[in-house]
Structure 1
């Protein structure tokens, strides 16, 4: 799954990594976002396309339609979201991208839970596939967005069996394109994901468990007992 991640670079750094020529309606801002512990229930900058133009909108992380009376959902499985009753409309017309640097997962060892920070070996930006209730420029904290997840493999499976679906820059732009059909989006999930063996991870401080902590040192490697 994905329950915490970082979004600490500037929006310009993320956009530059996309290397695209699509028209943007995004204000220039070189200041780092500085979010080292992004949690569900907060607003997150979400990259999406409207009328062939890219936008960045602050959107509530968590999906809870009016008829849903349980805890808001934060993730959607890539294997079933395209066809499931709840997420199918979002897959069709609410695809977006979460720009990130890495994410946290907790590995259980008996009664102990050790957090890990997972990131690309290059240290570059990541682009999480997301779905939500479009348009994303509305004020609605109930019908927000979810991060699409995929099954883990190899070493990552030892930490958690699910992970955010990370797309290559080219696949990320295709994912949010209004020209992309739901069927094509399903193919992007299979062909455009960044391979597991390109990721690295290390243990981090348990301080990340407190959502109030937003320090840069949260992603630093620590020794485990």
Structure 2
């Protein structure tokens, strides 16, 4: 699962690892985004490829088409998204990328659920696979986007049995490419995800559970406290 994450650095920091000669319509902006507690239902900068140019649009993190009579969804499972009635068209025609630095998961320990922050050991940016309703600049707040999740493996399963699908920069560009078919996208999820052993994690403050809380203190390692 992915229910909270961080989007801290500037858009230029994320793009520097991703874009070299690719055409973009993204204006220069070195200001850090500074979001330490990104929650569902809020607008998130979403990278997508339209008309052979990369665009960065603020899109609501949730998805609820008109016929859906339940709570909005925030995640889509790679095991079923490519073929399900609800997500197949998004998988084929609405693939995008979410910039991130890490994400939070809650682990049950005794009678409590304790939050952990998960991130790459080398601290490089993360590129979450996402799907949503094109065009992403439409302003539609009901049919936004979902983060694609996969089964956790190796040490990550000790924290949670699901995790966001994180791509390498090269795979992220291929994922967004309109020329990439749905079948090829499915192959990417199997072959080009960043492996679990490249991640690490540490416990963080319970304050992250309140979406109103923001700030760098949320990602501090609480096990370092004396």
Taking structure 2 as the reference length, what is the TM-score of the superposition? 0.98
Q: Map 1:185-224; keep pairs closer than 5 Å.
A: 185-223=185-223
Aligned match of 2:75:
75
The alignment partner of 1:119 has SS state of: strand
The alignment partner of 1:147 has SS state of: strand
Aligned match of 1:121:
121
The alignment partner of 2:70 has SS state of: coil
Deviations 1:123-174 (CA, angstroms, capped at 9, x unpaired): 0100000000011001111000000000001111111000000000000000
Deviations 1:151-209 (CA, angstroms, capped at 9, x unpaired): 00111111100000000000000000011000100011111100000000000000000
Aligned match of 1:169:
169
Q: Provide the rounded CA distance (Å) in 2 between the counterparts of 1:214 and 1:151.
A: 28
Task: Report how far residue 20 of structure 1 moved.
Answer: 3.0
Q: Provide the rounded CA distance (Å) in 1 between the counterparts of 2:139 and 2:5.
A: 23
Aligned match of 2:145:
145
Q: How many residue pairs end up in the alignment?
A: 225
The alignment partner of 1:187 has SS state of: helix
Residues 202 and 223 in structure 2, CA contact (< 8 A), matched pair in contact too: no
Task: Report how far residue 19 of structure 1 moved.
Answer: 3.7
RMSD: 1.1
Consecutive unaligned residues in structure 2, runs of 5 or more:
none
Residues 62 and 145 in structure 2, CA contact (< 8 A), matched pair in contact too: yes
Q: Provide the rounded CA distance (Å) in 2 between the counterparts of 1:20 and 1:64.
A: 35
Deviations 1:35-92 (CA, angstroms, capped at 9, x unpaired): 0000000000000000000000000000000011111000000111001111000000
Q: Provide the rounded CA distance (Å) in 1 between the counterparts of 2:12 and 2:43.
A: 19
Task: Report how far residue 214 of structure 1 moved.
Answer: 0.7
Q: Provide the rounded CA distance (Å) in 1 between the counterparts of 2:30 and 2:195.
A: 30
Aligned match of 1:109:
109
Q: Provide the rounded CA distance (Å) in 1 between the counterparts of 2:189 and 2:79.
A: 9
